[in-house]
Structure 1
Amino acid sequence: MSRSALTRRLFLISLLAVACAALAPANAAEFKSERITVSTEGKGNDVILIPGLGSSPRVWRELVRAVPGYRYHLVQVSGFAGHARGQNAEGTVAAPVAEEIARYIAAQGLDRPAIIGHSMGGTIGLMLASRHPNALSRLMVVDMLPFLGAMFGPPGTTTASVKPTADAFIAKLRTADPVARQARSAATIDSMVDNVAMRPGALDDSLKSDPDVVARAFHELIVTDLRPELAKIAVPTTVLYVMAKTPGVTEAAIDSAYTAAYAPLKAATLKRIPSSAHFIMWDQSEQFQSEVRQFLGK
């Protein structure tokens, strides 16, 4: 082989390596954390995607493919979906993760990215928007109330009044044997995911999540009331929610509950997604992707 031919071959091999590296998900450069890991995909304006309790970035896979033109930052919470617990091995989870994402935004030099959070990820997004208002440009909350505890008690429920319920939940989760945990997880996923094809992945993430991290995070969500902080949020906020699978609850009641809960957030747009369970991105994928396109295009 001539020297020129060898040079051309080495050049082509180098180009191929660069192309493969560009196509593969990359870990965010120069950011070390014991609470989260972040991978990036795509190019364009920055969008941070935060999954919910016991979930992984797999919940965003279809969205990332269907809505190109952005650089997606996919957050994995330590202790969920088979990842080591790290600093989430004790104490609260959502609030310190929110602070860690704020640190990530600053460390990476991101210019006010958009944030989309599902369930607990929505709670984290609300914490970021109220406590670090200059860190993001807009927020989408996917099926999450600012005070989850309101769902576990009568009208007028407070953090203090719902704490015994949260304490009972965490005790039950911590003492469940593996067989009971698997059965409970399967039943929970079946109720939260209508798209049967997506249930195995969600269940896999759930069963691989550390039970104690999940229990403490769930307890934190029940007793955390962010309603007093909503007035601090100035960025445009979209809230997507679904019809609860609770006998006797009407669409009007759900609409009223969300409207009242988010009333202090003047920049909020609320929209109920019909025919969907908790994982809207899977149950109504096309509509969800359309809503995200509209949200990011504002």
Structure 2
Amino acid sequence: MLKSLFAAALLLTPLAAHAEAQAQDDCPTFEVKGEGPDVLLVPGLASSAQVWDGTVAALADRYRFHLISVPGFAGTPVAEREGSVPEALAQRIADYAACRKLDHPVIVGHSMGGFTGLLAAREHPDRFSRVVVVDSLPFYPLVYAPDATVEVVKPRAEAITETLRSMDDATFAATQANGARSLTQSKEGQERIVAWSLATDRATMADAVQALMTTDLRPELAEIATPVSVIYATNAYAAPERMKALYETAYADLPDAQFTPIGDSYHFVMWDREDAFTAALAKALEGSDGE
């Protein structure tokens, strides 16, 4: 009997080892920098993980950063997916944390990345220790219409995404260059935004915009048990009082959410106010170190 069990074990061991190796092969691969507790850095719409370069340089001696790249964005190859772009990315992040055996990492997401972090925390309540949302709302259209609903916004979303899909390359490039000026005060940053947009798969970008404009997470925020910190920008066009009301109302069903405004900044807070952003992020991460 023992000989039979031993023989079976010899036969099964290579299969088990192969299965484990196969699981590792299937695990997403992202660039990792630094040493310390694990932090997943998620870029926003049509952005590269390089958006976090300054953050990593400032804090890599205290945290191990995983630089998440988004399929179809900024030159990253398109991948098959199930669900919307944010939904698929949220699952990819959760799978990565699981197969790399990360111990309750923090998700830090900018723009669409913050929205994605909320999705991941909702679907996987025990996997992450905190979500840090950077200049993002649980329903994007609130930025221009505080009383927006999915039903009201849907026709506009369809028109915008159809325009994105059909626009010729020259017009698209000009549109992106014009829009970039309202996203960061940095000339170099504006150039990077445009370059990343031009390297982004247009269909993936349109699908992501459609999802962001027609997905309202506010009714589901109460389901998120993971602590959430929100860092948001204010400036002459986005007055502090208005932004405070907008964000605190949007996240009202997360009563323990922590809010940190950063003044004199556009959307890319990590570029426009690098030192202030790094300090705010470090404070949020310190609050997660023992959770």
Same fold (TM over 0.5): yes
- Candidates 190, 203, 210, aligned match of 1:199: 190
CA distance in 1, matches of 2:243, 2:130: 24
Query: Does residue 77 of structure 1 match 2:66?
Result: no
- State the shift of 1:152 in Å: 4.7
Runs of 4+ in 1 over 6 A off after TM superposition: none
> Paired residue for 1:96?
88
Which of residues 226, 230, 248 is equivalent to 2:221?
230
Please tell me the residue identity of whatever aligns with 2:74: A
Q: Residue 105 in 1 paired to residue 97 in 2?
A: yes
1:96 alignment partner AA = A
Residues 234 and 267 in structure 1, CA contact (< 8 A), matched pair in contact too: no
Instruction: Report the Cα distance in structure 1 between the residues aligned to 2:140 and 2:192, rounded to whole angstroms.
Output: 25
How many Å apart are 1:205 and its aligned residue?
A: 1.0
Q: Is the 1:31–1:107 contact (alpha carbons within 8 Å) kept by the matching residues of 2? A: no
Cα distance change on mapping 1:252 and 1:293 into 2, 3 Å: same
Percent of pairs identical after alignment?
39
Check the 8 A contact 2:233/2:267 in 1, yes or no.
Answer: yes
Unaligned runs of 5+ in 2: 1-22
2:107 to 110, 115, 119: 115
Contact 1:152/1:162 (8 A) holds in 2: no
State the 1:41 CA deviation.
1.1
Q: Does 2:54 correspond to 1:47?
A: no
Return the offset for 1:208.
0.4
Shift of 1:236: 2.3
1:30 paired to 2:21: no
Q: For residue 68 of structure 2, give the secondary structure of its aligned residue in structure 1.
A: strand
Instruction: Describe how 1:167-178 pairs up with structure 2 within 5 A.
Output: 167-178=158-169
Counterpart of 1:6? none
Determine the C-alpha separation between the residues in 2 that align with 1:98 and 1:164: 26
Q: Which amino acid aligns with 2:34?
A: G
After TM superposition, the score normalised by the length of structure 1 is 0.84
Q: Which one-letter code corresponds to 1:266 in the other structure?
A: P
Contact 1:49 1:74 in 2 (8 A): yes
* Corresponding letter in the other structure for 1:72: F
- Matched residue SS, 2:216: coil
- 1:149, 1:225 within 8 Å by CA — same for their partners in 2? no
| Cα displacement (A) at 1:157 | 2.0
2:257 equivalent among 257, 268, 290: 268
CA change 1:273–1:204 in 2 (3 A) is: same
After TM superposition, give the deviation of residue 97 of structure 1 in Å: 1.0
> Separation in 1 of the partners of 2:26 and 2:47?
21
Are the equivalent residues in 2 in contact too, given 1:137–1:235 (CA < 8 A)?
yes
Q: Secondary structure at the match of 1:238?
A: strand
Give structure 1 stretches of 5+ with no counterpart. 1-28
Shift of 1:244: 6.4
- Establish whether residue 58 from structure 1 lines up as the match of residue 47 from structure 2: no
Query: Deviation digits for residues 39-70 of structure 1, max 9, x if unmatched?
Result: 11122110000000000111000110111221
Q: TM-score, normalised by structure 2?
A: 0.86
- Aligned alpha-carbon RMSD (Å): 1.8
- Paired with 1:138 and 1:31, the residues of 2 have a C-alpha distance of 27
AA in 2 matched with 1:213? T
Structure 1 counterpart of 2:65, one-letter code: Y
Deviation at 1:31, TM superposition (A): 5.0
Number of aligned residue pairs: give it: 264
1:220 equivalent in structure 2: 211
Aligned-partner Cα distance in 2 for 1:270–1:102:
25
* Contact 2:94–2:127 under 8 Å retained in 1: yes
**Equivalent position of 2:20 in the other structure:** none
Distance 2:122 2:30 in 1: 22
Q: For residue 185 of structure 1, report the CA deviation from its aligned partner.
A: 0.8
Given residue 121 of structure 1, which amino acid in structure 2 is its aligned partner? Answer: G
Q: 2:59 aligns with which of 64, 67, 83?
A: 67
What's the secondary structure of 2:107's corresponding residue?
Answer: strand
Asked if residue 157 in structure 1 is aligned to residue 151 in structure 2, the reply is no
Aligned-partner Cα distance in 2 for 1:116–1:141:
6
Counterpart for residue 5 of structure 2: none
